[in-house]
Structure 1
Amino acid sequence: MNLADHYNKLYTESIAKIDSGNYEIDHLIDSDDDYRFGITLVIRPDETTKANIQHFLSEVKAIEPGQYYYENSDLHITVMSIISCYVGFKLEDINVEDYVDLINQVLENHKNFKIQFKGLTASPSCILIQGFLTDTLNEIRDDLRTGFKNSDLQQSIDKRYAIQTAHSTIVRFRSELTYKTELLALMEKYRDYDFGTFEVSKIELVYNDWYQRERFVKKLHEFDLKID
């Protein structure tokens, strides 16, 4: 996949939908009855990159204060959704150590790598940071797919789609956009902004809700990659 082309296509199509009012509002994000949970492997950006993201978000908040904004604690890149969030999943349903052992076997063969957060893209319901990755991340994903396919562990890898990007969701639309024109102009201003490049030396396995909110997330294990 050519990531730049993929992000550009997503941006063009989604901005057109947002501009025409054909965007999507997430009605579950404030619900007390959202019981979708799962387990996920995630990467966290470094503090400098997070600060750059929050600087942008402060400008978005000034235009559209009513939307949902990711806090630093919740920012992440999904390496792999091992068990996609669904209603009724509980940690007691699985043996976490079995998952840790399998993932350890996969990751022991991989070294640290870098990810660059550069520019914005969008979906009809979100604003996203564009992440550009090295081959290492997709090699890890492929090895995880193979490892879980050859195991008897509960998993739903690639059931929704086969993840190939390194994006990070930073804004979700929770209500009608009041100043749509101003928001789109700000997004265009930051279209190619360099939010930072960071080293990935750790990957977390977490129990999480759909939005990866800190109050629901439980870190199950932190894996160290080999240092190159």
Structure 2
Amino acid sequence: MNLTEHYNELYKTSSETISKGKYSIDSEIKNESDSRFGITLLIRPNEEIKTNIQSFMQELKEAEPEQYFYPDSDIHITVMSIISCSEQFTLNQISPNDYIQLICKSMVDVDKITIQLKGVTASPSALMIQGFPTDETLNNLRNKLREDFKNSDLQQSIDSRYTISTAHSTIMRFQEKLHNPAKLIQIADKFRDYDFGEFNVKSLELVYNDWYQRKSNTKVLGEFCLR
């Protein structure tokens, strides 16, 4: 997949949808009884990247203060959704150590992952920072994970919702009616090609998480350090 073309098309269609007021509101964000949980392998950007993202988020907050903004602790890039969030899944259904061992096997040839976060894209219900891996290491790891989990007896739902191929990070979701959709897109346009920075991934985390990756609901099951 050409990530630039994918992000561009996503932004074009979604920004037009938002500007016309046809965006989607996520009604589950405020639902305190939301019990959708799953297992995710993820990457967390470094502090410098998160500081750079804050300048963008601050402008968004001033324009749309009632929306849901990801705190620094929750900002992430999904490597693989191993078990998609659902009300049917609970942690006691699996043995985390089995998953840790399989991921270690999948990562045996992974030496270095570098990701550049540059520009902004959107969906009809959210704004995201665009991520660009600098080589094929992340894609190769994802393919190895797919293969190894497929050949195992472990519970998994990899690619059941969609086949992950991007490296974006969601930073804002719509939980209320927007005050000024056109203003929101104007701010997004301003940061459309903004360079938030490049970082070398120090580690990956395997987590038990809710739909929004809230820190308060997240349990780290394993951490995998890169050389």
TM over 0.5: same fold? yes
CA drift of 1:201 comes to 2.5
Equivalents in 2 of 1:88, 1:73: separation in Å? 26
What is the total number of aligned residue pairs between the two structures?
Answer: 226
CA drift of 1:55 comes to 1.4
Structure 2 length-normalised TM:
0.98
Give 2:151's aligned amino acid. N
Q: State the match for 2:8 in structure 1.
A: 8
Equivalents in 1 of 2:204, 2:182: separation in Å? 38
Q: State the match for 1:132 in structure 2.
A: 132
Equivalents in 2 of 1:59, 1:132: separation in Å? 24
CA shift digits 1:100-159 (9 cap, x unpaired): 000011112111121000000000000000000120000000000000000000000000
Equivalents in 1 of 2:181, 2:144: separation in Å? 42
State percent identity of aligned pairs: 55
Q: State the match for 1:193 in structure 2.
A: 194
Secondary structure of the equivalent of 2:24? coil
Q: Counterparts in 2 of 1:127-206, with a 5 A limit?
A: 127-133=127-133, 134-206=135-207
Secondary structure of the equivalent of 2:221? strand
CA drift of 1:184 comes to 1.1
> RMSD over aligned Cα, in angstroms?
0.7
Equivalents in 2 of 1:182, 1:29: separation in Å? 23
Q: State the match for 1:51 in structure 2.
A: 51
CA shift digits 1:159-211 (9 cap, x unpaired): 01110000000000000000222211111010000011000121000000000
Q: Counterparts in 2 of 1:23-172, with a 5 A limit?
A: 23-133=23-133, 134-172=135-173
Give 2:100's aligned amino acid. V
Structure 1 length-normalised TM:
0.98
CA drift of 1:82 comes to 0.4
Give 1:69's aligned amino acid. F
Equivalents in 1 of 2:13, 2:144: separation in Å? 32
Secondary structure of the equivalent of 2:196? strand
CA drift of 1:88 comes to 2.9
Secondary structure of the equivalent of 1:215? helix
Secondary structure of the equivalent of 1:73? helix
Equivalents in 1 of 2:120, 2:22: separation in Å? 19
Gaps of 5+ in 2: none
Which structure 1 residue ranges, 4+ long, deviate > 4 Å from structure 2? Answer: none
